[in-house]
Structure formats: C-alpha cells, structure tokens
Structure 1
Amino acid sequence: MYILISVIDRLFDIFYYILLARVLISWFPNIDRTHPIVIFLYRTTEPVLQPVRRILPPGSMIDFSPLIVFLLLPIVKRFVFQLLLLFA
C-alpha cells in the first residue's frame, strides 16, 4: 500500500509541475504553440482545466482555472489518500 501511495503522490507532484509549466508558458506570447512539449503540456492539463472553466463565469480576460486547480489539487490529493487508507 505504501508503494501505491508513493506512486500516486509522485503523479500529483508531476501534474503540479506540468500545470505550472503551462501557466508560465502562457505568459510568453512568442512561444511556438506547435512545439511538441507545449502540445504535451496543453493536452495533459486541458482535461482538468476545461471543467473548471465551464464553472467560472465567462468574460474575464484572465483565466483563473489554473489558480483554482492549484488550490484544489492538495484537497483532492488528501481525499484520494484518505480513500486509499480507508480501503487498505
């Protein structure tokens, strides 16, 4: 069980850094959006960000969905660990 929790913990950490990289890339308009790394970052994070965007009210020039995901990520991580420990 410890190995499973450790792997899931690492996956959450990796996703955190992938999301951070995507946010940083969005600040630089001259970055090639067709580069394979940029495409990977967008394809990896978009399934999580898109549902959050649907909840947020439209019309803002700033995309707050990454901020909300950053805030929710530790909560979801803790919830997943609690479930794993409950069924262990």
Structure 2
Amino acid sequence: MNAFLWLFDTVVQLYIYVLIASAVLSWLVAFNVVNVRNPVVSQIGEVLYRLTEPALRPIRNILPNLGGVDLSPIVLVLLLLFVSRLLHEFIPTTSTVTIR
C-alpha cells in the first residue's frame, strides 16, 4: 500500500508544481513580460490551462469575485495537501512486527 501512497503523493506534488507554473505564467502575461503571440509561450500556456482549468473552474464558481485576484489555485493546493494528509492518516503504512 505504500507504493500507492507514494504515487499519489508524487502526482499531487507534480500537480501543485503545474498550478504554480500556471499562476506564474498568468502573472507574466498580465504584466507583459512574455508575449502570448510567441508560439512556445502560447503552447505552454495552452497546456497549463488545459491541465489546471478543469480543477480550478468549480472552485472559481464557489469563491466570490474578488476583482483581479484569483484565489482558486491557493484553495486547490490547500485541498490537495489536506487530502494527502488525510490519506496518510487513515491508510496504514508499513506495519512493524515486534518479536517478544
């Protein structure tokens, strides 16, 4: 069971990195640091959007509109970390056998 827990934790960590990359790219585009007409930037943005938007859209529908501030990635990261900790709490890890 530890292998599945490790795999889940690894996937969660990778997805958190994707969320961070998506947020950073959106800031860079908003402040005109990168040009979205560049094919590489456009392709990276499209991939990040397609990976993150299905998970962020329901959270955005629940959160109130705060103007230009989007808190949905923070909420999703906290939710993913909570689920990960919850699994660690309820799924037993390696059981140690004590010999008397």
Q: Give the alignment's TM-score, normalised by structure 1.
A: 0.80
4+ residue stretches of structure 1 with deviation over 3 A? Answer: 80-85
Taking the TM superposition and a 5 Å limit, the aligned residue runs for 1:1-88 are 1-29=1-29, 30-32=34-36, 35-58=42-65, 60-82=67-89, 84-85=91-92
Q: CA 1:46 to 1:80, structure 2 compared with 1: closer, same or farther past 3 Å?
A: farther
For structure 2, the residue ranges without an aligned partner over 5 or more in a row are 93-100
Alignment length (residue pairs) = 86
Identity %: 34
For structure 1, the residue ranges without an aligned partner over 5 or more in a row are none
Task: Please identify the structure whose Cα radius of gyration is greater.
Answer: 2
Q: CA RMSD of the aligned region, Å?
A: 2.2
Pick the structure with more helix per residue.
1
Instruction: Report which structure shows greater RCO (CA 8 Å, sep ≥6).
Output: 2
